[in-house]
């Protein structure tokens, strides 16, 4: 049992929740995730990103969007209540080193899993430039936290209600056109957003890491639902990822597989996305 310490509503359907998990708080690294089960009798297993952690307090912070039955059930819990099962940290941590200049792109609630990576990249001595994308001003999250670590922060919205009216690829292209160009880039968000971030960086021969948000059930490599093609080989996001070289990811194949699960979801509402904490039929903004 993991006691809930605090809960905050970030937007209409996005929540931030801090829970007690001392062992996970001490061992987690940027880029890793959790499997959360609200109740053991009938509850599904929800993959969620560790957005932050406090090893001294023994707590971890999750950000999730309420779409399906399980995420709504999680959202109605209050401080003092408990989450029955929390498994983690899972997945491979982000490769952190002093690259030089790193551009970090987050779309929608993909900004939450991007935060610990930004933090770690800055602490490793990099110049970190951050791009936050969302559909509207109300859906922009983690702005203040990002400003503490970002050397430069650009916010774009689809409707122009906050920051620049643009897609995230516009400022990404501007950073890539600069002299010198970035030494590394990272993108986390909807698959279509990551696909076009990869295409943009490829034009300038800038490396890019992407954190894939495929369908996942067990999180330990057994179900095979999260398989993707990377560099012509089959990989499992939960155990081989969640981060991969974006220039090697077959995004078209991944999105076709996710659409097939979406059709199934429309019937039985079962699985959800890693990292973003959302069901397959509800991609976040910031494309």
- Summarize the annotated binding site for FAD as residue ranges: 63-65
β-partners of residue 186 are 104, 209
Virtual torsion, Cα 181, 125, 117, 184, nearest 10 deg: 20
Cβ contact 179:240 at 8 Å: no
**Alpha carbon distance 113, 286 (integer Å):** 14
**Which amino acids are annotated as binding site for [2Fe-2S] cluster, given as ranges?**
223, 226, 238
**Alpha carbon distance 137, 85 (integer Å):** 34
β-partners of residue 228 are 235
DSSP β-ladder status, 82-83 and 33-37: unpaired
From 197, 202, 142, 146, select the one nearest 172 (Cα to Cα): 197
| 263: CB partners within 8 A, 6+ apart | none
Question: Vertex 88, ends 266 and 186: CA angle to 5°?
Answer: 75
| 97: CB partners within 8 A, 6+ apart | 124
Cβ contact 38:74 at 8 Å: yes
From 30, 24, 85, 87, select the one nearest 58 (Cα to Cα): 24
**Which amino acids are annotated as binding site, given as ranges?**
63-65, 223, 226, 238
From 116, 112, 109, 153, select the one nearest 135 (Cα to Cα): 109
C-beta atoms surrounding 275 within 10 Å: 30
């Amino acid at each position: 049992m993991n006691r809930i310490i605090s809960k905050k509503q970030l937007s209409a359907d996005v929540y931030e929740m801090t829970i007690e998990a001392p062992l996970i708080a001490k061992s987690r690294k940027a880029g890793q995730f959790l499997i959360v089960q609200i109740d053991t009798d009938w509850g599904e297993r929800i993959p969620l990103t560790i957005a932050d952690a406090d090893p001294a307090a023994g707590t971890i912070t999750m950000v999730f969007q309420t779409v399906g039955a399980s995420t709504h059930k999680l959202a109605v819990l209050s401080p003092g209540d408990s989450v029955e099962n929390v498994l983690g940290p899972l997945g491979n941590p982000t490769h952190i080193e002093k690259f030089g200049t790193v551009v970090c792109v987050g779309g929608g609630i993909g900004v939450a899993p991007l935060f610990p990576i930004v933090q770690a990249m800055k602490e490793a001595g990099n110049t970190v430039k951050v791009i936050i994308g969302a559909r509207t001003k109300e859906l922009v999250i983690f702005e203040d936290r990002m400003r503490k670590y970002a050397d430069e922060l650009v916010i774009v919205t689809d409707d122009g209600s906050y920051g620049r009216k643009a897609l995230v690829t516009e400022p990404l292209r501007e950073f890539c056109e600069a002299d010198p160009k970035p030494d590394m880039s990272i993108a986390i968000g909807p698959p279509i957003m990551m696909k076009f971030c990869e295409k943009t960086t490829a034009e300038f021969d800038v490396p890019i890491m992407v954190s894939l948000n495929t369908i996942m059930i067990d999180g330990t490599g057994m179900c095979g639902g999260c398989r993707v093609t990377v560099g012509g080989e089959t990989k499992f996001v939960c155990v081989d990822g969640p981060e991969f070289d974006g220039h090697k990811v077959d995004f078209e194949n991944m999105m076709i597989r996710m659409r097939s699960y979406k059709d199934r979801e429309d019937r039985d509402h079962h699985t959800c996305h890693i990292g973003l904490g959302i069901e397959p039929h509800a991609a976040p903004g910031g494309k």
